[in-house]
Every structure is written in structure tokens, then in C-alpha cells.
A and B are shown apart, each in its own frame.
Chain A
Amino acid sequence: MASESRYPALEDLRRAMGNWSIVRFMALSDMRARYKRSVLGPLWITLGTAIGSAGLGVLWSELLKVDPKTFVPSLTAGLIIWQLISGVLTDSCSLFGRQASIIRNMNLPLSIHPMQLIFKHVINFGHNIPIFFVLALFLSVPMNFNTLLFIPGFILVSLNLLWICLVVGLLGARFRDFEFMVANVMPLLMFVSPVFYRPNYLPFSENVIWANPLSYFIEVIRAPLLGSVPPVFVYQVILSMLVFGWIFAIWLFNKKHSRVAFWI
């Protein structure tokens, strides 16, 4: 920990890995704090998602005139994945600001905060995903080898969310109105993503959906859950986002690393 290295971003990430116990503790401790005063505890998330997808599923399958047996599982999976993505994006804006008391007082690597945030949302996701499997059993959604592909898909999405969280966190720390911008854009992104429908439901403008980067995140996890293999181009896009995203995030973090403590 002697003098500053030439690549503070990489150094910071390396130190954050070394402080994994802090990341894990903080994520769990935040969870505990948040559900401290409720009887059901973290199960609130599960219950909320279950009620939400049941209600929307029945209503929308009528509206879109599709069979609820195929629509409800697809919607449930979509909503659960969307909760992960939108949760990370919205929380990232105020990420460093919320941890100001730690950042301004302790010499800890900054990247423990994005890691902790992603970890927390992964735990949330773990609370929600059983709903899908219960539903899948009842509605006899095909479960096969392809289903297992949701695990690599999920890992790819989480790694992508980590760099996004870091970039959004830095922007949110510097620009106070960035938070409102994200809050405004999120619903729009939800409607042009395949949360409510599979891309093939929209015969006229499938391309609109594929213009939204978040659509790939949803498909790469959901297609396996529904028993099919995601198209190859989904993997191609996600992998290139991973590579270029991380290069950009590290470049930005490297430039602005030492400024964050002054911004918040």
C-alpha cells in the first residue's frame, strides 16, 4: 500500500478482490438492515415478484391473446431478470454517494462498492428465481439440458452489470442529475425490451428490441429457462459488450479514480 501505482484502477480492483470478505459482509449486512423490521424478511421480494407476475400474467395474456401457459412463465422469467438489471442500474447512480461515510474515512478500494451492489442483487435474484421453477413445474415448461445454459448466461450478465455499475456509479457521483435521467429512461428501456413478450411476438419490428442492449441480457438467461438455446448472435453481442465495456470502464476509472472522494 506504499505509493500510488500507475494504474490505480487495476490496483483498486486487485485490492478489492483481496477484500472479498468485506464485500460479502457488506452485501449481507445491507440486506439484514433493509429487512430488519419486517416479519417476512427478504421473502418480501419473493412474494412481491410472485404476486406481480401472477397478476400481470393473467391480465396480459388476455390482452395479447396468447396462451397463459406459455405466456406466464415467459413473463415471470422476464420480470425476474428485469428486476436484476433495473435494480442494479437504478442503485448504481447513488452508489458512491450512499457509501460516502466509508469512502471519506477509510482507505478501502472503491471497487468493493460495485461488487457489493452486484452481489446484493444476485442474492435478490436468488430469492426470485425459485418462483420461476415452481411455476415451470406446474405449467410443465420443458426442462432439459438447455436449461442449464442459464447459468453461464447469468454469469455473463453479472460480469457485464459489474462494469455498467462502475461506470454509472462514477457518472452518478459526478453529476447529481444523472440519477433522474436513468430513472426516466428505465421504463422506456423496459418497453423496448422483451420483458413482456418474446422477440418473435413482434413480427413488425423485432429490430427495435435488438437495438436495446438490455434485451440481450434478458434473452441469454430466459431462452435457456424456457428450454431453448439462445441465438448465437446474442452471445456474440454480450461477449463484445463484456470486452469493450470493461476496457471503457477501466479507462474511465483509471482517469477519475482519485477524484471520487472529492465528488461525494
Chain B
Amino acid sequence: MTRLEFKNVTVQYPIYNSRGMSLRNQLVRIGTGGRIESEAGHVSIVTALKDVSFSLSEGDAVALIGHNGAGKSTMLRTMAGVYAPNAGEIIREGRVATVLEMGAGMDMELSGYENIIRMSILMGVSMQEIKDRISDIEEFTQLGDFLNLPVRTYSSGMATRLMFAVTTSTRPDILLVDEIFGTGDADFQEKAKKRMEDLIASVGIFVFASHNNELVKGYCNRFFRVQHGRVDEISRDEVG
């Protein structure tokens, strides 16, 4: 049973300036009673999500839409369990996979093949399963002999292909995707779309943050608008 539930979740995080990041400045501040280095401890608190509640279950494909900085990525990271909430409760049942940031879990010095193994291991896939999937990944990425070269020699489009192929080669229960596969040529876009559709059909819960309204309308069946840390569910027509 796959389930993802937020109950009154609030996520706040501190932004330290360079002085706040310095131990020396902190010590000076304590030593002088805060009189000299008055700026040293200045910390801004950003409330990225405020009192958010919703419940997702098997079959939900959710689109997160909103401006840059509206809190979409924070939302995805909180869903994934990377960010812990300051208040509220999250119930998460099922194996989570994320496609949030380019190069997550990749090591640029290692070859394409070694990175396939590395990323898969990090995602909790067993060695045997990886062996079974390698041919599928080879086929999808079309990188050929490049898979024997270090990833640092890849163009960003090639790295995207590899990352996308590896992440989507597992069948997670909950898949969280940030808008990263916008890169790549038209041919790749077409293939990625096909693969994405297959994947969405097989995962329990799919959450996708994007600015591309046409794309989300094609993939998703529920739509959340994120703004100023609040989340409102809207209808398909309101997406625009």
C-alpha cells in the first residue's frame, strides 16, 4: 500500500550569511557579548512550507506548479524525506526514488557503467537487478562506447540521458521528479516522454514539478499550486 500524507507540515530553514557560517565570528560574538560583531549571528529564517496538509494514494499523479522559488523543490525534498519538517507529521509508505538535481549521486571521475552501478546501489537496487537492467539502460541512453569513458567528458545532455535512464530503470512506489529533463535534443525528448509515460503507469504515486503546463496536463491527474509556502489543489482547467 503506497501512501504519502502530510499533516500540517511546516518547513523552515535558516539562511546564514558568510559571517554566520564562521566559527571565529561566533566565538568573537560570544566573547564580546555580541556588541562588536552585531551582525555575526544574523540568521534569516525562510518559511518554505506553511501548515501544508494533503494525502496522496496509489494512482495519484500530482503536478506541482508555481513560480521560481515558490517552494516546489523544497516540497519535493520534504516529500522525499531529505528535509525534516519543523512541525507536523509526514507518513510515507513505499520506496521513494527522486530525480531532483543533475548529477545526484554521480561521480564524475567514474565511467558511465560504474556510475550506473553507483547510482543504482545508492537507490537500493541489488547487484543482480543492476545486471539485468544494464542492457535496457544502454539501449535507452544510446551512449554506446561513451559509457566506458568518465562522466566528466560527457556533455550535459549526455549526462542527463544517463541519469534519467538509471533513475527510471527502477520501479519505485513513489517517484518524485523536478523539472530537469528539459535538456537534451528533440529525439531524446520524445524517448524520455515515452519512458516517463510507461513509468507513471507503473508507479504508485508520481509527483512532478514543472513550469510546462502542457506537459503536466499530459502526465498528471491532480494539480497543486504552490505559492508563498501554501499549497492549494486546483482543477485541470485552472492550470492555464
**CB contact between B107 and one of A19, A33, A177, A181 (< 8 Å): that residue:** A33
Q: What residues of A have a CB within 8 angstroms of the CB of B101 in the complex?
A: 101, 104-105
Q: In the complex, are the beta carbons of B89 and A102 less than 8 A apart?
A: no
Q: What residues of B have a CB within 8 angstroms of the CB of A19 in the complex?
A: 124
**CB contact between A175 and one of B22, B84, B91, B117 (< 8 Å): that residue:** B22
Q: In the complex, are the beta carbons of A106 and B123 less than 8 A apart?
A: yes
Q: In the complex, are the beta carbons of B80 and A21 less than 8 A apart?
A: no
List residues of chain B with CB under 8 Å of any chain A CB: 13-14, 18, 21-24, 26, 77, 80-85, 89-93, 96, 98, 100-101, 103-107, 109-110, 114, 117-118, 121-124, 150
**CB contact between A33 and one of B18, B89, B109 (< 8 Å): that residue:** B109
From residue B97, how far is it (CB to closest CB) to chain A in Å? 9
- A255 interface residue, CB < 8 Å from B? no
From residue B151, how far is it (CB to closest CB) to chain A in Å? 10
**CB contact between A32 and one of B21, B84, B92, B114 (< 8 Å): that residue:** B114
29 A-B pairs (CB sep. < 8 Å): A1-B92, A2-B91, A2-B92, A4-B85, A4-B89, A21-B121, A22-B121, A29-B107, A29-B114, A30-B107, A36-B110, A36-B150, A37-B109, A101-B103, A101-B104, A102-B104, A102-B105, A105-B100, A105-B101, A105-B105, A106-B82, A106-B104, A106-B105, A174-B21, A176-B21, A177-B24, A257-B84, A259-B14, A261-B83
Which residues between 83 and 129 of chain A lie within 8 Å of chain B, taking CB atoms?
101-108
Given A25-B117, A36-B150, A107-B96, 6 additional A-B pairs, CB 8 A: A1-B92, A3-B92, A25-B118, A29-B110, A30-B107, A174-B21
Q: What residues of B have a CB within 8 angstroms of the CB of A32 in the complex?
A: 110, 114
Chain A minimum-CB-distance residue to B106: A101
Chain A minimum-CB-distance residue to B118: A29
- A262 interface residue, CB < 8 Å from B? yes
Q: What residues of B have a CB within 8 angstroms of the CB of A104 in the complex?
A: 77, 82, 100-101, 104
Q: In the complex, are the beta carbons of B22 and A177 less than 8 A apart?
A: yes
